[in-house]
């Protein structure tokens, strides 16, 4: 079975700490990747708004949203899933740890908002809980030669996809390795849920993959495995 991987949209950080930015200077959004694997069409991290991402799909892959069979979220951060509802016909997947560690507090916050009568907050949280409930716990193998690869730390259950290509391994790593600058300097994001685990996940990503799709950047060659 042939596998085709292509970046649909290159992401960006709202503030890039390694560029000296400490406050948001742009709208952050995740890198979005498309995987064709046999009959499966897997979209990873639809971070752009729907009105921007759907044209990108046509431009980069000549498909519409109904062709997507699966959506995989590396985490549940809002700027990773802005266009998620454009893919209502697809299966939505997220790592089970992220689903539990983020979903349970969301439900608790919803109950608290309902108890206090905060209607605006209740409506927002109800939408978030609805999305999380729609997300299925991802199996170990999302498709042949495509395995989930836990990368906890930035969020409790951050998870990438490890893809075995004929001549290399490619890791879609989400914010575990966000940009080229983070990769070159060996640094993780400052707002990690668990910095030590994030650093360990970063190290695992660099150790295992020949190519990396970065969470807020392009697809790159692993600098520790360059043949030249």
DSSP 3-state of 11? coil
Residue 1 has pLDDT above 80, yes or no: no
pLDDT value, residue 131: 93
% of the chain with per-residue pLDDT over 70: 99
CA distance 83 to 29: 11
Give me the pLDDT at residue 105, please: 87
Average pLDDT over residues 79-91: 97
Angle between helices 96-116 and 119-134 (to 10 degrees): 160
Q: Which residue has the higher pLDDT, 182 or 120?
A: 182
Confidence band, pLDDT 50/70/90 cuts, at residue 226: low
116/197: higher pLDDT? 197
Percent of the chain with pLDDT over 90: 84
Q: What is the mean pLDDT of residues 136-140?
A: 96
113 pLDDT tier (thresholds 50, 70, 90): confident
pLDDT at 227: 57
Cα(30)–Cα(75) distance, rounded to whole angstroms? 10
Give the mean pLDDT of 85-100.
Answer: 97
Residue 191 is predicted with a pLDDT of 93
Nearest 10 degrees: Cα torsion 10, 12, 18, 21: 150
Contacts (Cβ under 8 Å, ≥6 apart) of 124: none
95 token code pair: 């790592």
Rounded CA separation 32/11 (Å): 7
Token pair 């890039």 is found at: 16
Among left, alpha and beta (phi > 0; psi -120 to 50; other), residue 48 is beta
- Bridge partners (DSSP) of residue 40 are 37
The model carries a pTM of 0.95
pLDDT for res 122: 86
Rounded-to-integer distance, Cα 199 and Cα 133, Å: 29
pLDDT for position 193: 96
State how beta strands 169-174 and 211-214 pair: parallel
Give 144-164 pLDDT, tens digit per residue: 999 999 999 999 999 999 999
> In the predicted model, is pLDDT for residue 185 greater than 70?
yes
pLDDT at residue number 36:
97
- Where are the strands (E) in the chain, listed by range? 3-9, 32-37, 40-44, 70-73, 91-94, 136-137, 141-143, 146-150, 159-164, 169-174, 211-214, 219-221
């Amino acid at each position: 079975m042939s596998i085709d991987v292509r970046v649909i949209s290159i992401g960006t950080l709202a503030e890039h700490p390694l560029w000296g930015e400490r406050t948001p200077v742009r709208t952050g959004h995740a890198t979005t990747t498309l995987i064709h694997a046999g009959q499966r069409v897997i979209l990873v991290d639809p971070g752009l708004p729907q009105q921007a991402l759907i044209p990108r799909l046509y431009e980069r892959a000549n498909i519409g949203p109904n062709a997507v069979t699966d959506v995989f979220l590396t985490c549940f951060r809002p700027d990773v899933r802005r266009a998620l509802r454009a893919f209502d016909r697809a299966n939505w997947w997220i790592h089970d740890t992220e689903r539990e560690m983020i979903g349970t507090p969301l439900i608790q916050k919803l109950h608290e908002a309902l108890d206090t009568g905060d209607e605006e907050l209740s409506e927002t949280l109800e939408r978030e809980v609805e999305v999380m409930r729609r997300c299925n716990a991802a199996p170990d193998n999302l498709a042949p030669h495509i395995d989930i690869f836990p990368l906890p730390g930035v969020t409790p259950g951050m998870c990438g996809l490890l893809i075995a290509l004929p001549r290399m391994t490619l890791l879609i790593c989400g914010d575990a390795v966000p940009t080229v600058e983070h990769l070159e300097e060996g640094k993780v994001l400052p707002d990690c849920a668990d910095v030590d685990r994030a650093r360990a996940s970063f190290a695992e990503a660099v150790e295992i993959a020949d190519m990396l799709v970065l969470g807020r950047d392009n697809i790159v060659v692993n600098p520790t495995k360059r043949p030249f």
